[in-house]
Amino acid sequence: MKRRFMNHRTLLSSCLILFALWLCYGCGNEDEYHYPSVKLEFLTATTNSKGTINQITTDGGKAYNVQADGSNLKLPADTLLRIVTNYEEVEGGVRLYGAAVPVSNYPVPLAEFKEEMVKHPVSIQSIWMGLDYLNMILQVKAQNKKHTFRFIEESATTDEETNELNLLIGLYHNNNGDLEAYTQRAYASVPLKQYAEKGYSKINIRFTLNTNEGETSNYDFEYIPL
C-alpha cells in the first residue's frame, strides 16, 4: 500500500500545538505514579487504513509495531507523520500512552511565501538533531488564541567544491493577537530528508528565531545524510 506524507501545512498552518501530555514522564513529586520504562520522544509514525498508528520509528532508526495505542489521535489513513509520544516497549512492539502531532511542515522558500513575514517572540527550551529532522521544544506566551507556526527557507546556497548545502531556516510565528499571559509548550520538527535526496554530502543548517527578549537567536547544526 502506498503511503503519502501528511500535508502538515494544511493540518497545522493555523494551529498552535499546545500540549500538556497527560503522562509527563520524569516530572512531578515522588508521590505521583509513573508508568515503568516509559519514554517521551519525537518519533516517525505510520497509520493504517483506519487512521490508527500501527508502526513507529525512533530517531535512532529502530522500528516497532504498535500493540496498543492510548493516544486517541484522529489521523488521516495511510499516512507518514511525526508525533511526540510517551511509549513503553512491550512484547511484540510498543504501547503508546499519550501523543501529540508537532508542527512539521516542509520549509517554504522565502520567494514562494506570499504572506507577511511575522516573527513574534518564542523561546527554545531544547533543540537537537534527530533522524532526518531538526527537533525542538518551544516556549511561547499565550492565552487562548490559535498561533501559527511555519518554517521558512530564507536562503539556500551550495558549495560546489565540497558538495555541501548551506541553509538558513527561520521560524514564522504569528500569535494572531493573543495575550502573552502564560508560558506554554509547542513541539516542532523540521523535515530535512528532502534536502538529502538531492545528493548533498553535508547540509549545514542555521535555524533562527526571535526570542522573548526581542533579540534574534541562531542555532547551528550539521546534517549528514545516511
- pLDDT recorded at residue 226: 81
Nearest to 139 by CA among 183, 176, 83: 183
**Residue 65, pLDDT above cutoff 70:** yes
Those residues with Cβ within 8 angstroms of residue 30's Cβ, 6 or more apart along the chain or in another chain: none
pLDDT tens profile 87-98: 999 999 999 998
pLDDT of residue 36: 57
DSSP-assigned states of every residue in 65-125:
EEEEE-S-----SSEEEEEEEEEEEETTEEEEEEEEPPB-PPPEEGGG--S---B---EEE
**pLDDT tens per residue, range 15-54:** 333 333 333 333 334 444 454 578 889 999 999 999 999 9
Contacts of 223 (CB under 8 A, 6+ apart): 129, 132, 134, 192, 195, 196, 202, 203, 204, 205
| Beta strands across the sheet bearing 123-129 | 123-129, 133-142, 182-191
Q: Which three cell numbers stand for residue 126?
A: 531544547
Per-residue pLDDT for 208 more than 60? yes
Residue 212: the pLDDT is 81
- Residues 95 and 117: their CA atoms lie apart, in Å, by 41
Range 131-141 burial, b when 16+ CB lie within 10 A, else e: bbbbbbbbbbb
